[in-house]
Amino acid sequence: MLGFGLYTNKGIKRDKKLRWRNYFIDFTLTNKYYPQLIGNINNWSNPFPFNQANRNSVPPSPGIYIFFVKPNLQIHPEQSFIMYVGYSMNLYNRYGDYLTTYKNSDEPNYFERRLMLNAWESVLQYSFLDLAGYTEKQITKLETKIIDALVPPINRDFAHATIKQQVRLNR
């Protein structure tokens, strides 16, 4: 078996099997978390393409961010697919980390993020929830609920034990 760290970015872009292999999970397990998130759903920024030109659209405040794939030939909005959810105490700096550190790294721990940033770079979208005034503890608690509700395929950590089991079985 070829290790994740041995794939080059060109290899990731070329090998279409990598795009969905081992990145599937049953979303029905997460229904119980949706009601807890309703208060925050409407406050997300308008999505925009993830690229260097849009970096100034991101504030230097704390918050939660999502990456999602939005196909160019999109018939329905539902075709978008959330890939990753994260949090940062400085969204602007974290956005920059994704443009440089994660996208170009050979670090095996960054493989999933590197895969996301390179394989879907032409259709990758970004949105954030500005949580200025929230503590880091409050932000991580909300992030955990969002991750467990959405089960993004690039995220590795899940709080709910049943979801953790399913992820281990299916990935």
Greater confidence, 75 or 126?
126
How far apart (Å, rounded) are the C-alpha atoms in residues 122 and 169? 30
Residue 121 to residue 116: CA distance in whole angstroms: 7
Name the band, by pLDDT with cuts 50, 70 and 90, for residue 33.
Answer: low
- Helical axes 34-41 vs 136-150, angle rounded to 10°: 120
pLDDT in tens, 57-67: 999 999 999 99
User: What does the alpha-carbon distance between residue 40 and residue 77 come to, in Å, rounded to a whole number?
Assistant: 20
Q: Are the C-beta atoms of 166 and 27 separated by less than 8 Å?
A: no
Q: Write out the two tokens for 165.
A: 């089991």
Residue 163: both structure tokens together: 């979801």
Q: In the prediction, which pLDDT does 108 show?
A: 79
Query: Tens digit of pLDDT for each residue in 106-126?
Result: 887 788 888 889 888 889 999
Higher pLDDT, 92 or 162: 92
Task: Point out the least confidently predicted range of 17-21, 77-81, 118-122, 155-159.
Answer: 17-21
**CA–CA distance, 66 with 33 (Å, rounded to integer):** 17
Tokens of 89: 């105490």
- CB contact at 8 A, 67 and 125: yes
pTM reported for the whole predicted model: 0.73
Least confident of 53-57, 82-86, 89-93: 82-86
| Polymer length in residues for the chain | 171
Rounded Cα–Cα distance for residues 45 and 64 (Å): 11
Q: Give dist(CA 152, CA 135) in Å, integer.
A: 24
What single-letter DSSP state applies at residue 90? -
Answer with the residue of higher pLDDT: 37 or 10.
Answer: 10
Q: Which CATH superfamily is 9-170 part of?
A: GIY-YIG endonuclease (3.40.1440.10)
Burial class of 76 by CB neighbour count within 10 A (0 to 12, 13 to 18, 19+):
exposed
Q: What percent of the chain has pLDDT over 90?
A: 32
